[in-house]
Each structure stands twice: as structure tokens, then as C-alpha cells.
A and B are shown apart, each in its own frame.
Chain A
Amino acid sequence: MIQYILFALATGLLFHGIHRKLIARIQGRPGPPVWQEILHTLKFSFKQTWIPDTASEVHFVGVVLISIAIWILALGVVIYEGSVLLLFAIYLLHKIVEHGMGLSSGSPYAKFGAIRSVISAASELPLFVTILLIYYFTGSLMLSDIIQWQASNGPLIIPAFPAAVAMYLIILSKMHFGPFSIIEGKEIVSGNRTEHFGVWRAGLEAGFAIKTYVLLNAFVLIFLGSFSLPVLVLIMAVILMTLSFVCAYCPLLGPYDTVTVQSLVTGVLLAYIIILEVVL
């Protein structure tokens, strides 16, 4: 099992590097090499590290441990083909990490990031409707059942396309440099990550790398089906590239604009469900 964790960690960091490289190339910059995020994480791990005087020590360090632990747990849910509900519950737990990072250090910029994290809770709205639509079509929320359903009925993305769009939006909202990345906007320095440096930042980067791997893997399993590992990673990379294109072309939205967009998507999805259930 540890090999899966290390693989997810390395692949996730590599994905982050590809993401940065693609955004840079689209914007006409050379950009860093694709393995830059792996080097970046190693670099942070070698740096001098301490806890700010104003920080709540347990909280400050705890969020780093929680960040890594919850995404390893999510990886387990995906590998053992467990419940989508559990996967999305872990996704909601990630909010604790975002809030905790911002509130634990005592930095005003990090606190702004934490407040924006509360606002960006709207990004979880499409999640609930996605779950509803997945259940509507497959009659189950177990990944194993959803994969089996797709083996006999074809990819779920075809009948449940709006749900796939919503989950794509959910993944987009958690990508670095994306239009919904308001919690780490540069106008608030590094947002909720401002004071987490050195070893703490390296730990967070590790957790976020596993998060990216898990979310992309879950997207493929839920909407396209089960594949061999090389094909799976290839499909995940293609989806990541599309995300990079969106991130490269869309500017960072204002906090209230992100809520508006995500609420509108939820509204459209709800309308789709009502049409499916009542009209058809």
C-alpha cells in the first residue's frame, strides 16, 4: 500500500509541475521544468523551520498532519473502490485544513485567506448535486458499483454530463492559479499559506499533491470507468491539461464572483435533475 501512496505523491507533484509549465507556455513564458514542484518540495524540506510566535503551535502543525492524512485516506477510498460519499466527506474535511492554515498562524494575511476559504465553501455546492446525479443514474454511491454500472452501460459522463461538469468545476476550484483560487490570491501575499514555510510548507505540498492525484483519479473512475494504471495516469494528465488551459486563460475571480458562478452551476444542475425526474 505504501507504494501507492508514494506513487500518488510523486505523480501529484509532477502534475503540479506540468500544470505550472503549461500555464507558463500558454501565457508565453518559458516556465519552470515539469519536475520543479518535486524539487520545490524537497527544497522547502531542507530549509530552516520554526513556528511563528503568535501561532497556536498544535493547530499550526496539526493542519499539516491532517492535510496529508485525509488525502491518504481518500486515496484508500479510491483504491479500495469505497463510497463516493466518504470521498466527498474527506473533501469537505479539507476545508478544516484551509481554515486551520489561515487561522493558526496569527498573520493577518493568512486570516484573510481563511475568511476567503469560508466564502469559497460555495465550491462545495456543486458537489452535493453531483452526488445526487450519480445516485440517480447508477443507484449506488459505491465506486465499485459505479464502475460495474459503466462496464454494462458505458461511461457515466454521457448521461450525467452536467454532473461531470460540476465535478470538473470542483477540481478546478482546488487547483493552484485557478479562477477560484481566492484563498491564495497574491493580493493577500500567499493567503492562508503565508506563514507555513520550510518543513510545514513541504508537508502541505505533499498533502496537496496527493489531493490532486485523488481528485483526478476519482473523476476518471466515476465518469469514465476503470483503466489500467498507465492509461489511467494518461487520462488524468489529459484532464489536468484542460484544467491548466482554463487556469491560464481565466483571471482570478473576485471572492463574490466565485460564489455566484458556483451557485449558478448548482442551480443549473438542480434544474437538470428536476427535468430528469419530473418532465421526462
Chain B
Amino acid sequence: MQSRTGKKIAGTSLVIIILAELLPVAGMIPPWAGFILLVLSVPWFLLGLMLWWRAPGGESDLPFIGY
């Protein structure tokens, strides 16, 4: 996966996280709906962020099958 993809995922999910925090305060959605948005967006944000800043390179290979 390209780090650019990670950046896009992290950016999009960060927007959703901000909305999930702000919309319940503004009374536009109930608090539980804001929380569900967080449940759905925070995992994507964490993975996206880490995929963005991880070291580049590396190729997929066969799994480890023993010493």
C-alpha cells in the first residue's frame, strides 16, 4: 500500500473524527451517533496515519515457516 493512500485514509478519517466531536455538541446528531462515527473512524485514522509515516520500501514474501 502506498503511503499516499495512508495519507488519504488518515485525512478522511480525521475529518470524520472532527465531525463526530462537533456535530453532537451542535445538536445535529445524538451523542451515541457521534460515538459510533468515532468507533468507525478512529481505527482507520490510526492505521492510515501509521501507513503514511512508516518507512518506505519492502516487498511481500512467503510467511515465516521456521528456523
A and B: partners?
yes
Q: Which residues of A come within 8 Å of B, CB atoms?
A: 1-2, 5, 45-55, 61, 64-69, 72-73, 76, 80, 105-110, 189, 194-195, 198-199, 202-203, 206-207
Contact call A199/B47, Cβ cutoff below 8 A: yes
Q: Is the pair A65, B43 in contact by a Cβ cutoff of 8 Å?
A: yes
Chain A residues lying within 8 Å of B44, measured Cβ to Cβ, are 65
B50 & A1 in contact (Cβ 8 Å cutoff): no
A96: min CB distance to chain B, Å: 14
Is A5 in contact with B42, judged by CB distance below 8 angstroms?
Answer: yes
Q: Is there contact, CB below 8 Å, between B55 and A48? A: yes
B63 touches A65 (CB 8 A): no
List residues of chain B with CB within 8 A of the CB of A69: 39-40, 42-43
Shortest Cβ distance from residue A56 to the other chain B in the assembled complex, whole angstroms: 12
Are B64 and A72 interface neighbours, CB within 8 A? no
Task: Tell me the chain B residues, 37-65 only, with Cβ under 8 Å from chain A.
Answer: 38-40, 42-44, 46-47, 49-51, 53-65
Q: Which residue of B lies closest to A207 (CB)?
A: B43
**Residues of A contacting B58 with CB < 8 Å?**
48-50
How many chain B residues touch A (CB < 8 A): the figure is 32
A contact residues around B1 at 8 Å (CB) = 49
Contacts of A54 in B (CB 8 A): 62-63
Closest Cβ–Cβ distance, residue A85 to chain B (whole Å):
17
Give every chain A residue within 8 A of B40 (Cβ-Cβ): 69
Docked CA distance A198–B1 (Å)? 13
Residues of chain B with a CB closer than 8 A to A189's CB? 64
Chain B residues contacting A2 (CB-CB under 8 Å) are 17, 20-21, 38, 42
**When A and B form their complex, which 8 residue pairs have the shortest distance between CB atoms, in order from nearest?**
A107-B63, A48-B58, A68-B43, A45-B50, A199-B50, A65-B43, A50-B60, A52-B63
| B55 nearest CB across to chain A (Å) | 5
Knowing that A69-B40, A72-B42, A198-B54 are A-B contacts, what are 4 other residue pairs whose CB atoms are under 8 Å apart, sorted by A's residue number? A45-B54, A195-B63, A199-B50, A203-B43
Closest Cβ of chain B: how far from A150's Cβ, in Å?
25
Q: A65-B43, A203-B46, A206-B46 are in contact. Are A1 and B21 (CB under 8 A)?
A: yes
The closest CB in chain A to the CB of B38 belongs to A1
Residues of B within 8 A of A46 (CB): 53-55
